[in-house]
Amino acid sequence: MDLTATLATHRLVAIVRGGDPDAALRTVLALAEEGVELIEVSLAAPGALSVIERARTAFGPDRPLGAGTVLTAEDARAAHSAGADFAVTPGLGDGVGAAQELGMPVLAGVMTPTEIIAARALGVAALKVFPVAEAGGAAYLKALRGPFPDAPFVPVGGVDEDLARACLAAGAIAVGVGSPLVGDAADGGSITALRERARAFRKVVEEATR
C-alpha cells in the first residue's frame, strides 16, 4: 500500500489500545463502520495480534490495517503474520527495517530534527511526531515544518478535536488519535459513544480538507 497517499487522503488514524481483546475488536469494527479508514491496533495491548487477525478476517484483504507500538523485528514479523499491512513505531528501532523488508510501510515515531533526518534516510512513509501535545502542540509542528516543509508529519499523543484541527491547519498530513477518540470502548465501554466521537473527528478532518 501507499501509506503516504492514504494518509493524505483520509487524514485520520485511530489508535486502538485496550485491555479487553473482544472489546478492542468491536471498537475496530465500529470505527470502520463509521468511515474511519485507517486504524492501528497497538501491540502493547493484551491479545493485540488476535485482534489484528480477526479484524483482517472481517475486513478482507483490501482495507488498510496497522499494527502500532512495533518495537522489534519480532514485533514486525508477528504483526505481518497476523495481517497488518502497515506498521507504526514510537521510535527508530529494529522494527522499522524489519517491517520495510516485509513490505509494510512505516509511520515512524520522531521528535527531534535529528530523528526526522534519520527516519527520512531510512525511507519511512511518514513521520509520527510523538508526543505532540506535551511537546508544544501545533506550534511545535509549525516550527518543524520550517526546515522540513514537505515532510509528511502525523502528530500523535494527546490529540483531541481542537489539537487535531490546529495540527491539520499547521500542515500535518494526518493526525493520529487514541484515547480522545477511542475512550474506554476498547476496555468494554460504550460503542454508541465511540461512534459519536468518530463522527466528530471525521467532521474535523472533513472541514480541514475543504
- 101 carries an active-site annotation: no
What are the phi and psi torsion angles at 106 (to 5°)? -120, 130
- CA pair distance 158, 154, nearest whole angstrom: 13
What are the phi and psi torsion angles at 198 (to 5°)? -60, -40
Kindly name the residue from 34, 40, 203, 206 that is annotated as catalytic: 40
Kindly name the residue from 128, 142, 161, 206 that is annotated as catalytic: 128
Contacts of 139 (CB under 8 A, 6+ apart): 170
| 161: Cα within 13 Å, side-chain hemisphere | 11
- 142 carries an active-site annotation: no
Pairing of strands 175-177, 12-16: parallel
Active site residues: 40, 128
